[in-house]
Each structure stands twice: as structure tokens, then as C-alpha cells.
Structure 1
């Protein structure tokens, strides 16, 4: 059974940073989807194809002329053709041990390395027989199926993206499999604070679990797309997605399929219960696999079937064609791949989602930004990454506290006033120390952290307190020492005179995390300059075009009774619609600090 793709995808939040300071070397979050590829104005579609003969062996001697592709029934011309082979064997002994997360990412980028993720859906796996059989199948799988160079990660719903660990250690994987549990129908103790808050109604807990599972799978797909362009494979082990309403079930399924196809990820599914008396097969498990070029497994002897996951990754054909239909409607378009040689089975995704007009415009924006200075391009990245279906924005910044330590602030702004969403955030250091773990209130969350890189994981909660989306980014906490330095500029929005007076004279300022403003708004930017020479520093503010060209200087005034703090006021009625930056610079001799604040002026 194939579910009809819905047009709407599950809502997610793209966590963008309102202020991008070169001083803080802010690292932008990984993109949720790979950008579409364009060739000569047409959408270049790529399809991975596995071809298997009647004996179950991979066919590797085909040519471009052996393939035929149709899109929505219309014949297409195969322009790009490549046989990709990866045996899983290591070319040298030094490639084998994974020494660090950075080493794992470098290995994942290699064409001769295969990447696999096993997603254990513990919320939808029974505690007894299903979990026992699932562990048994996975133990044999991780111990015997993979080659020495293959990278494998084991995750569940609550695995943070920055905790996903790729390894080649089969004993380590086997031990991790041994610890897997099934929690279908098990609610005590709760796995998370979100789940605990929904304990009053068991139906709410089941819906929460289904939503968390869906969001987690999408996050893993996006993460794989960010670390590797080539083919990836996910084994999704589950009995079913759970108690989602029918419409939401379809929307989530379409969102997951869209992400998998966009990020070149094949999904295989395994029902650990094996064959059922009623012969029922989960439509979700079947569609996830068939629509992404994978297979669904429901067998009392799954071991030989699971080995086909690795086998099919050993050799596949990468085909590319420039669609003659050139769709730009954001909708699903069917692909049919046919091989002229008789007696073979063809495995390929059934279609793709064409880029929407907004995605095309964002891509053009990204290409145009490539010719600007690197610091300007980095500053513009939140504008390029904006998605129209995002319900809110996240901001992270830092300033110096009274004791000289860095005070980090996380703020959240909903796109619409009536959006009932909330955000929880977790900030951790490179050594695993947790510096903040809780809700982000309307007045922002502030905490102390030492200089260095923080991992910021945010979870979007919908109006019912359910987890709708997760995303992880990084933030570099500066060292506010004796050298000239600057706080992260706080961007605020004034829609009338009363708000303007409050923002320019108030003792504290709540950041506005969004990037888009009406031309009737007035922007206010507040920041502080620190360091031994801060009192004698020359501080300026100017308006830049999206190319980094200076357009005009901006009025700058000290904030009353707050030494070293400044405010910039800027009416957007003075500019036309488009993307801009506010450049803030402080200098004293050769000592300099600079920050760039991006924004978009709408009509």
C-alpha cells in the first residue's frame, strides 16, 4: 500500500542567529535540507539505482544506454551516469580506528566509505518478544554484515545529534545493541520531562511519542545530509509509528520521505515481531522504504534480509537528468526507472519533491552571496536559510557579566503572535558539562559559561507541549579579557513611539530573534564594548548592502547610565525592500572588534 503524498510537510523550526559576529566566529547550524541543484535553468534530478539479478547478485556491467527514466510518464534523457562501488574494505590500516568525532566526519565524506544508521524506535517496540527478537537480529547484523571500513551509528528518539557516534568497532556496537529496550505501552518512568508532563492522558503520551519519533527520524536524515552528499542508509526498526491522527500521519510520512530523497538517504524498515498471524504490514514502514529506494523487512528469519542493506550499498548506479518538465511547484513528481536487460530487479526511489519558488529564490540568493566577502556571506546565512513554514526563530549571544565572566543568552521569537509554541534549550560544553537545560521563557534564558564552544540543542514544543522539532547548533563563547571586544549585538523591533522609548532607555533588552521586519518598523540595536581601551575606542555603525557595500552611516548614542553600552536607531522606511546588514565596529589603534547584523526589509 502506498500512501498518497500530501502537499504540506511537518512544521519545523530553522534555528537562525539574528546577529552574526565575526568576533565570535559563530558557526551556522547545519542545513535541514540539501539545496536543489540547477543546471541550465532546469532542475537536475539524481537517482541512485540498485540492480539485482535473479540470483540476488548485484549487476555492475550496465551502461547509460541500458537505463530509461520517466518523470510523471514523460521520457527523460540520462545525462550523468556513474557506477559507484564501495566494498567496505579499508584501503589502509590507518583508516580503521575512529579516533575522534572529527575523524569520523572526515571518513564519512570519502567515496569509498559506506555510512549506516540504525534507528531503534523504542517507543514503538514491545518490551518482551519484539525487543528480544529485534536485539537478536541486530546483534547478528552489526557483528557479521559490515566491512571493516563501514561507519555505523546506533540511535534512538532521544539521542542528541551531537551525540551520534559513528564507529567501526563491532564489539562496541554489539554491546550497545544488547542494552536496547522496548517501551511500547511502558510509561513509568518517563524518558523525558515532556513525556512526564503528558502523563495525565495516555492518548496524549502516545501522540507525543509518535511526534518525537517522527521529528527525531527527520533530524537524523538532515544530519546525514549535512555530513555527506553521497548515499546513506538508515535501518528504521519499529512496529509502526503509533497513534498519530490520519492527516498528521500522512503529513509526517511525506515530510520524512521528502527529506530522505532530498538528502540522498535510503530507508530500510524492520518490524522486529516477524510475520504476524493476520499478515498485516505497517503502511508507514512499507511507504518509508518503497518511496526512498529501500526495502521493508517482516520475517521470522531477518538476518539474511538485513545483509542485503549492506550488499546493495556495495555497488549502485548514480543517474542524473535535467527534467524536461522543470517543475517548481514544491510537489511530488513520480520517477520510474526501467532497465532494458530482462530478468533483473530495479530498486530506486519512486519520485522527488520539486523545489518550491521560495527554495529557488533562496538558492539564487545563496549563489549571489558567494561573490561577497566571506564575513558578509557568513552574516547573511540566516537570511538564506530561512524557510517560510518556520513558526519561530532562535537567537544566541553573549556579553560580559559584572564579574568579568561571559553571560550567554538564548532568546526565542514566534513568527505569529497567536502561535502557542514554546522552546526548550540545552547548552553543553565540549567536555559534556551542561550549562543550561530548561525552557526558554519570554524574557530569554541567561546563564554563565566559560570561553569555548557550546553545543546548543533546542526542542520546539507545540501548543500541547509535544516535541515538534529538534535542532542542534554551536556557539563560540568569547573571552572578554583585556583586549578590545564586543557583546553580541541585540536586535530589537519598535513598532511605535512607546516601544522605541522603552528599547532605547530600558535597563535590559530582550532580543528579537527574527530576521524579517516591516518597513514601518524602527530597528534598535544595543551592544557593549569591553576591554582596557574601551573608554577610548572609536565606535561606528553603518548600513551595508547585501554585497557588503557601505550605504550610509547610522546614528550611534551611548545608553544612559550604562558605560560602554551603545544604541543604534534606524527607521526602515528609509530603505527599499531587500536584505541588509548593520556593521558595528570598535577600534583603538590596531585593536579592533566587529559585528555584522543581518535583516530583511519587507514591503
Structure 2
């Protein structure tokens, strides 16, 4: 459950990547304000309501089942009874959500997760069930009667995931940077088969954090703090990925938490993060039946109870309940109400959900943390702050290029095409950060929403040779799919993937600026060759060294007008560093030297503006100077 108006806390660059379909650089033409440019939205499998009638609206996801854990699918708002702090509330909205783990759209796209950015985009889909398995090895015994049944149970659990499910596995020392969402069940099962608990064991030391723990008397309490902090970070990260239910399976015998201790506060922070992010935490104590007191560990029961999860404790056969964990993420209700309280007090508010129909078992979280007035004011101010789409898109494009894990880096240019079409231009070069087979050619083919080719494929090289180094396609405005296939020198397929692109409409705009092109030379010979070639091939790189020679090239089409071009150098915040001396257009093209040797190592953004009378167009391009 989430109280709306509370902003999920995750890095701004991450949020930007969720909202932007990147075509290298971004352009705004005519009189339209770039901040008002509409963004295409993906069509969801089943609409998940986001209640925005007021900032105090609260949403809670509810599992309703009958005997045998079969979901009840025909409840309405009138069937639910909700109380907050024992005060009855009026249920305003409810919707049943069913997700079966199978792909409902984009059926021709490969399901394999290719990068962190791809995982983020996939996690935002409405037809994806999102799971995390937290293996708390700090608080699991290294005993055969614990380890072997646990491996078997988790293997069966993972084997039930479907093709579209997205799963991440972590332990207390896994950082958010190292989280790897995957759909590969073999990879998950291989990790499960080697898992062992480390409860009470000091050696081997696995990290500097553990080395520091050894010098402290309370190292066991410190390890409990590491576990709870990692659980908080995971819940916060998952909560920021999308609306809707997310599920964590917390495998542990229970971290020790003394009332009033620092770990007691960390436990509260973990529960608060889960409640704010609509994350359900199920707990699994792997100890066999009879080895713990009746009811199991109190901390584990609190984690499950306060987040609406299942407490799988004191059992020799957890498989049935683990199957129910997947079922809970597959069928649930989203129930929304406006609290009768008027103040945003920042306190925990206890809720209880019941169903009027007899024989229905209801599972929901026990409450939520309300926002404070200060947080609500800050959220309102942030929402009212205009977003600079050009700057944000340029930085997102730069981020994707620097985290690219494919064997090729691709530059995509957008300009006016023939007739009413828009031209996409592609070049590529090998990614030096990727080892393995080196690509020699790249095949590019546009396709429609169903994956059917709309134009003939073009094959381009990454270096001068017998075939062209640039591919050009004139496409109608709208959403397209571009299929890329990297090939070896022998013609073998190295990689194949599909990228969705939204092609802008340029045919009616009075001024059109093409995507900025970087022309890079590593020595004077290459520089002279570029200067002598009016059709030089742009580089796909956006990371330059001070020793590089870099030229900026941009085309401007403005029939019947004589636009003035202004080029400004900005920092990553969008602050102006200095205007650059831009030469006048020559035959609709501008080419100028970018003095990267005078720039300190950092991230920079170029803002290019063309104006003629009341008409204007902008382009943005980000680049990075390496040490």
C-alpha cells in the first residue's frame, strides 16, 4: 500500500530512464515549448489505477482467497470494509488485477535481460511479476538439515516462475549497484545449489565490512544491522520501479533485534520502505519443524504481518506456501480510499481490511506511514517545477551509452526525410569494453508493431571498407521497432535485439535541426581526412579524452528562412558555462571545432538553438570528458 503524494526515493537518473525512449539527442521545433512535448506511453496489459483525486488518497493491495488459496475474482468496492486507526473509511475504488507471468504484448522481442537499463524498463511493464529472493546467510545455520531442504524448496520455487517473470537474488553484502534482475532460471538455481548459511561464523571474511566487524564485540548485532539495511535498500529500490505489487522472499532465521536498539529502528525503516513502495515481504525460516518455539521468530512474523506477506515458519514442507507466494503476486485487488483524518502527521496508521462475504480470507498489510506536511510541500514544489525534457533526455542517452553491455555502440540521427517522412540515420562502432567475438557488420531493419518488416534491411560496416558505414531509413511519424543484428566477419550472428523508437513528425515544422553529430579524430591524419570529407561518418562515442580532436556537426532545414544558430556549453545541471563561437550555416550545415582539451573531466551538455523570427528549434547533446 502507498499513500499517494509520497515520492518514491530512488535516484533521479534512474527515474529519467523509465520515462524516456531514447533516440540519441532530442529536438524541439517550431513554437512549441519543449517542456510540453507529449511522451508516448506503453499500452498496459491491464490498467492498474493510480488514484490521484487528492494527495491523501491511500491505496492498498488485498489478497482475497477461499479454501485452497483460490482467488476470489468478483468482489466490488461495496464488498470491502476498511478501517484506519479503528475509524471506518469509505472505499472509493477497487480493481481486480491478474498477472500470469506470460508476455501479453511485444511478443517478438527477446525476453533475455540485456542490461540494467533494460531490466528497469521491463520491471515497469504491467504484465511482469517482480520478485526478489533475499538469502540472509548471516542468520541461517550451516547445517545439513537446514541447508539441503532449503536448497530443494527454493529450487522448486524458482522452477515455477514463468517466462515473463523478473527475479533478483541478493544477500546482505549485495549492493544496489550489483543487483542483477534476470529471467534465467538456471542462473538462479545454480546460485541456490551453492548457498550455505554463515550464522555464527566469522571466517572466511568476504568484504572490508566484515573485516571491520571483527574488531567489535557486538559483531553479531552489526551483522543484523547490515541485513536490515540491505532489506531497506532493496524494498526502496523495488518500490521505485513501478506501481503495483512487488514481492520479496526473505529467507532467514531472524536477525536479532532488541527493543529500543539501533536495529529496532532499522527494522522500522525496512517496514516503512516496504509500505511506501507497495512491497510485500514474505518470510521463510528454513529450520525444520520443532527446532524453534511455537510461532517462530517474532521479528520474522512482524516483517510478514506488517507488509501483508506470508510467514512460512516451523514447517518441513514449505513448498505449498511458496507456491502461494507466486499466486499472491498473480491475483489481487487494488483498493483505494481517502482517510477521514485531515492532517499529514508523518505517523504510522493502522489499517484493517475485511470482506463482507462469508468464507473469504483477506490478507493485507497492517498499515502505512503518512507523509508529513513538510514532505507534502516539498513534493508539491517538485511536481510544479518544470522538467527540462531536452536536458533530461540528453543525459539519459549519455547514461545508456556509457552503461552499454552490447558488442556495438550505435549512433542514431533524426532529420527531415523525403515527403512527409522523417529520416533515421544509423552508424556504429565496436564497444571496447566488451570482450568476446568482435562484430564486423550490423544489419538494421525497421518493423511494425507486430514485428513484420516494413523496409528492406541494410547492412553497414563499423570501419571503412567495401560496404557503407551509414544506414538511412525514411519512416512515417509514430512508433516503430528497429531490429539490430550484429554479425562476425564470417557472417555468424553475435547478437540480435529489438529497440522501440518513437519517430517525431518534422514535415510541417518551419525549422528542423538534425541530431548533433560528433566527428572524432585521434590524430592529425584522421582530422585532416574528416575536414576534407563533407559526409564524414559520426562517431557513436560520447566519451572523449582531452587528446581527441572533436568536431560538432549539425544540419538545419528552414525553407524560406535564414535562421541564426547559437551553441551553448552547459554543465550536467543545465547551468550555462559559456556560449561557443558558432560559424554561420553553409548550405544548411554547421561544422565547428569542440575544444575538448580545454575542458576538465566531467559531463557536459550542448544546447543548440536555431531561431528565425517567431520560429525556433532546439537540439541537446551530452558528452563526457574522461581523465
Deviation larger for 96-105 or 58-67 = 96-105
- 1:332 partnered with 2:348: yes
In the aligned structure 1, how far is the partner of 2:567 from the partner of 2:320? 71
After TM superposition, the structure 1 = structure 2 runs for residues 483-502 of structure 1, keeping only pairs within 5 Å, are 483=550
Aligned to 2:582: 589
The superposition leaves residues 477-519 of structure 1 with CA deviations (integer Å, 9 ceiling, x where unpaired) of 665444599xxxxxxxxxxxxxxxxxxxxxxxxxxxxxxxxxx
The superposition leaves residues 518-549 of structure 1 with CA deviations (integer Å, 9 ceiling, x where unpaired) of xxxxxxxxxxxxxxxxxxx999999xxxxxxx
Aligned to 2:332: 316
**Is the contact made by 1:90 and 1:96 (CA closer than 8 Å) also made in structure 2?**
no
1:262 to 255, 273, 276: 276
- Report the Cα offset of residue 56 of structure 1: 2.2
The superposition leaves residues 29-85 of structure 1 with CA deviations (integer Å, 9 ceiling, x where unpaired) of xxxxxxxx8845541110000001133211111111111111112222222221110
**Is the contact made by 2:281 and 2:310 (CA closer than 8 Å) also made in structure 1?**
yes
- 1:73 partnered with 2:89: no
**Is the contact made by 1:207 and 1:244 (CA closer than 8 Å) also made in structure 2?**
no
In the aligned structure 2, how far is the partner of 1:63 from the partner of 1:243? 40
In the aligned structure 2, how far is the partner of 1:281 from the partner of 1:430? 49
Larger Rg: 2
In the aligned structure 2, how far is the partner of 1:582 from the partner of 1:237? 47
In the aligned structure 2, how far is the partner of 1:105 from the partner of 1:249? 31
What is the DSSP-based 3-state SS (H/G/I as helix, E as strand, rest coil) of the residue aligned with 2:231? helix
The superposition leaves residues 71-106 of structure 1 with CA deviations (integer Å, 9 ceiling, x where unpaired) of 112222222221110012334764663141244333
- Report the Cα offset of residue 149 of structure 1: 2.1
The superposition leaves residues 7-39 of structure 1 with CA deviations (integer Å, 9 ceiling, x where unpaired) of xxxxxx98899xxxxxxx9xxxxxxxxxxx884
Aligned to 1:559: none
In the aligned structure 1, how far is the partner of 2:135 from the partner of 2:570? 52
Aligned to 1:173: 188
- 1:271 partnered with 2:292: no
The superposition leaves residues 183-225 of structure 1 with CA deviations (integer Å, 9 ceiling, x where unpaired) of 1111112111121123133x33222211211121111112212
What is the DSSP-based 3-state SS (H/G/I as helix, E as strand, rest coil) of the residue aligned with 2:88? strand
2:366 to 326, 336, 350: 350
**Is the contact made by 2:58 and 2:339 (CA closer than 8 Å) also made in structure 1?**
yes
What is the DSSP-based 3-state SS (H/G/I as helix, E as strand, rest coil) of the residue aligned with 2:91? coil
In the aligned structure 1, how far is the partner of 2:108 from the partner of 2:10? 38
Cα 1:112/1:484, change in 2 over 3 Å? same
- 1:135 partnered with 2:128: no
- 1:122 partnered with 2:137: yes
Aligned to 1:557: none
2:229 to 186, 199, 215: 215
Aligned to 1:47: 60
- Report the Cα offset of residue 374 of structure 1: 3.6
Aligned to 1:502: none
**Is the contact made by 1:133 and 1:273 (CA closer than 8 Å) also made in structure 2?**
no
In the aligned structure 1, how far is the partner of 2:362 from the partner of 2:567? 67
In the aligned structure 2, how far is the partner of 1:326 from the partner of 1:477? 52
After TM superposition, the structure 1 = structure 2 runs for residues 395-474 of structure 1, keeping only pairs within 5 Å, are none
**RMSD of Structure 2 on Structure 1 (CA):** 3.7
What is the DSSP-based 3-state SS (H/G/I as helix, E as strand, rest coil) of the residue aligned with 2:283? strand
Deviation larger for 130-139 or 313-322 = 130-139
In the aligned structure 2, how far is the partner of 1:15 from the partner of 1:89? 30
In the aligned structure 1, how far is the partner of 2:569 from the partner of 2:321? 65
The superposition leaves residues 434-471 of structure 1 with CA deviations (integer Å, 9 ceiling, x where unpaired) of xxxxxxxxxxxxxxxxx9xxxxxxxxxxxxxxxxxxxx
In the aligned structure 1, how far is the partner of 2:568 from the partner of 2:323? 64
Cα 1:337/1:111, change in 2 over 3 Å? same
In the aligned structure 2, how far is the partner of 1:327 from the partner of 1:251? 24
The superposition leaves residues 300-321 of structure 1 with CA deviations (integer Å, 9 ceiling, x where unpaired) of 1111111100011111000111
**Is the contact made by 1:222 and 1:259 (CA closer than 8 Å) also made in structure 2?**
yes
In the aligned structure 2, how far is the partner of 1:169 from the partner of 1:151? 9
In the aligned structure 1, how far is the partner of 2:204 from the partner of 2:60? 44
The superposition leaves residues 212-256 of structure 1 with CA deviations (integer Å, 9 ceiling, x where unpaired) of 111211111122122222211000000111366743232112111
- Report the Cα offset of residue 113 of structure 1: 1.6
In the aligned structure 2, how far is the partner of 1:139 from the partner of 1:581? 49
Cα 1:182/1:269, change in 2 over 3 Å? same
Aligned to 1:34: none
In the aligned structure 1, how far is the partner of 2:234 from the partner of 2:62? 22
The superposition leaves residues 165-193 of structure 1 with CA deviations (integer Å, 9 ceiling, x where unpaired) of 22233222211111212111111121111
What is the DSSP-based 3-state SS (H/G/I as helix, E as strand, rest coil) of the residue aligned with 1:132? helix
Cα 1:369/1:189, change in 2 over 3 Å? same
**Is the contact made by 1:152 and 1:167 (CA closer than 8 Å) also made in structure 2?**
yes
Aligned to 1:553: none
Aligned to 2:380: 364
Cα 1:230/1:46, change in 2 over 3 Å? same
**Is the contact made by 2:113 and 2:181 (CA closer than 8 Å) also made in structure 1?**
no
- Report the Cα offset of residue 355 of structure 1: 0.5
What is the DSSP-based 3-state SS (H/G/I as helix, E as strand, rest coil) of the residue aligned with 2:380? helix
1:307 to 313, 323, 333: 323
- 1:62 partnered with 2:55: no
- Report the Cα offset of residue 288 of structure 1: 0.9
In the aligned structure 2, how far is the partner of 1:320 from the partner of 1:180? 41
Paired residues, what number?
A: 390
In the aligned structure 2, how far is the partner of 1:217 from the partner of 1:342? 36
- Report the Cα offset of residue 111 of structure 1: 1.4
2:297 to 282, 292, 313: 282
Deviation larger for 476-485 or 265-274 = 476-485
**Is the contact made by 2:123 and 2:166 (CA closer than 8 Å) also made in structure 1?**
yes
Higher relative contact order (CA 8 A, sep 6+): 1
In the aligned structure 2, how far is the partner of 1:430 from the partner of 1:218? 33
What is the DSSP-based 3-state SS (H/G/I as helix, E as strand, rest coil) of the residue aligned with 2:352? strand
In the aligned structure 2, how far is the partner of 1:95 from the partner of 1:335? 42
Structure 1 regions of 5+ residues with no counterpart? 1-12, 18-24, 26-36, 380-428, 433-450, 452-475, 486-536, 543-579, 597-603
**Is the contact made by 1:327 and 1:354 (CA closer than 8 Å) also made in structure 2?**
no
What is the DSSP-based 3-state SS (H/G/I as helix, E as strand, rest coil) of the residue aligned with 2:336? strand
Aligned to 1:86: 99
